[in-house]
Each structure stands twice: as C-alpha cells, then as structure tokens.
Amino acid sequence: MTSKGKGKLIPVIAGVMISAVLIAVSFIILNAGTGYRQGYDVVIFGDSIVANEQDETSVASMLSAKTGLSVGDFSFGGTMMAYNAANGSIGSSGNFLCMAAISRALLADDFSVQINAHVSDPATEFFPERIEELTHLDLKESDIVIIEHCINDYHCAIPIGDADSDSEYTYCGALRMSVDHIRRINPDIRIILVSPTEKWMPDGVNASDYSYGGGILDEYVEAQRMMAEELGVEYISMYELYEREVSSFGDEVTDEAVTGFKYTVDGTHPNYYGRYVISDLLADYLGGAITCDDSE
C-alpha cells in the first residue's frame, strides 16, 4: 500500500474507533439508569393513610417541605403489615405489597413478584410507577424508616400474634420479621413505628367498639406499641391526634363527638387538614418542623 493510501486509511480507522467508543459509552449510560440506587433521609412504608394522595399535599411531600429532608414515599393503599392467608398465594394482590413482602424483596434485592403482579383495583393507578421506584431504593444510604401499617391488618382480621411470634401471617410476627430484614440491610438505620389515626365507620361507630374478627383496633394499636418496645424501635402514636368534633353522618347528627368531620373524608382517610396535622406531628418528632404563618 502506498503512503498516500495509508494516509487515507488512517482517518477512516480513527473514525471507526471513535464511533465504537461513543456507542460503548452510550450503552453504559443507558444501562446505568436501570441499576441506580437512591437513598433518602426518610423512607415511609405505609397504607392509604399516607398514600391516599400523591401530590404536593401528600403526607410525604408536606413532611419534606416542613423539614427540608428528602422523603421517599413507598406507601400503597390497601396493604398490610402481614401476609393474608385468606388471599391464597403470596403473589396475590393482597400480599405482594404487604410490609413483610416488601422487606423480603429489599433484603433479597429481588422484586420480581412486585414487578410482575397485575394491579387493577381502584386507586392503584400510581402503583406501577411506585413499584419501579421501590426497585431502586437503597436503604443502606437512607437514615430513617417510618413504618405506618396497622389499619388494614385490623380490617382483614389478621391474627395479632404475640411478642414471640415469628409468623408473617400474624401482625406481630410480620412486624418482627420486617424490622429484622431492614436491620440486616442497614444495622444503623433508625426505625420508627407510627400508629394509625382513630377510625370511625360511615355510620358513626368507632373502631374501638367494632371487630372484623381479629379484635378491635385498640388491640392492634397496643400490639404495635408493645412490639416497638420489644424490638427497641421508636414509636409515634397518632391514635388521638385528631380533635373530636360533633359531626353528622348522612342525615343524622350524632350526640357524640367524632373525628371524621374535620380531618378525614370518610372517617379513615385524611383530607388535606388531616394530612397537614399528620405531617406536622412527624416533622415535630423529627425535630425539623418549619413553622408557617397561616395568615400569610
């Protein structure tokens, strides 16, 4: 080959090499996003008391705004602490997003059950996106975990169990195993259990006076408090957070003051004011609440 031919060939080879490098770099960049991990100052696991809104008025968003902390919300409405034997398989819709299942997935770094599950229940439109975010959660790089699960275990009559229970089909056993899984991921992480708020039925009956078969709500809340002490984790009670006010259900005005009138949409799920006072309580506990002048 003549020197003139070699001169023409060198730029071609250089161009091919540069193209190959650019393709390789692009491949790395594109695939890096699929395996990224994200930690937060505060990670919340819970049910629809936290997850009933996903906008700037959500509990997580208001908590972040009031404290300046990064808050990851991994709450899913309708979910429980424990697996529900009545739902059949572990992969059923009532089980794959319970706290016990999520903590197992986090420990194993395997979210195949959550990713492949089909969700079509009402108010679950945000689940696929949140499940995707869950697959990237890094508890090793997170500081605080808040667990707010109790009300749906009560609704589904999940057996409460006792302090020594290790069955993930009981409330206490699932709580114990979930805390263990989280600590195995990050032994130094701060874990805070949060009780549900007081619950009123649409007809004005208080959950303290009604059992779905597993006990009244007070018994589940007491079990949660007892397990916090047993496991050496922190505990925040929201059970008496709402002020009681005389309210009406349907066309009847009750003589007894209830909580559903001002703070909830149905006696259980918090409205804006309910979410505001919940986020205030959490922010105050974490020591970073930013006071606001409501007159401004």
Q: Could you read off the pLDDT of 174-227 as tens digits, one per residue?
A: 999 999 999 999 999 999 999 999 888 777 778 888 999 999 999 999 999 999
pLDDT computed for residue 246 by the predictor? 53
Domain that holds residue 178: 37-242+271-286
Residue at 29 is within a domain: no
Beta bridge partners of 71: 42
Q: What total of structural domains would you count in the chain?
A: 1
Residue at 17 is within a domain: no
Identity of the residue numbered 15: G
Residue at 83 is within a domain: yes
Domain of 63: which CATH number? 3.40.50.1110
Share of residues in the chain with pLDDT > 90 (%): 57
Please say if the pLDDT value at position 1 is more than 80. Answer: no
Which of 22, 16, 76, 11 is CA-nearest to residue 49?
Answer: 76
Whole-angstrom Cα distance, residue 241 to residue 174?
26
Residue at 20 is within a domain: no
Residue at 91 is within a domain: yes
- Answer yes or no: are the C-beta atoms of 227 and 193 closer than 8 Å: yes
Residue at 109 is within a domain: yes
Q: Is 260 exposed, middle or buried (0-12, 13-18, 19+ CB in 10 A)?
A: buried
pTM for this one? 0.81
Please state whether beta strands 190-194 and 252-258 pair in parallel, antiparallel, or not at all (unpaired).
Answer: unpaired
**Rg (the chain; Cα; Å):** 24
Residue at 120 is within a domain: yes
Q: Could you read off the pLDDT of 125-160 as tens digits, one per residue?
A: 889 999 999 999 999 999 999 999 999 999 999 999
Residue at 82 is within a domain: yes
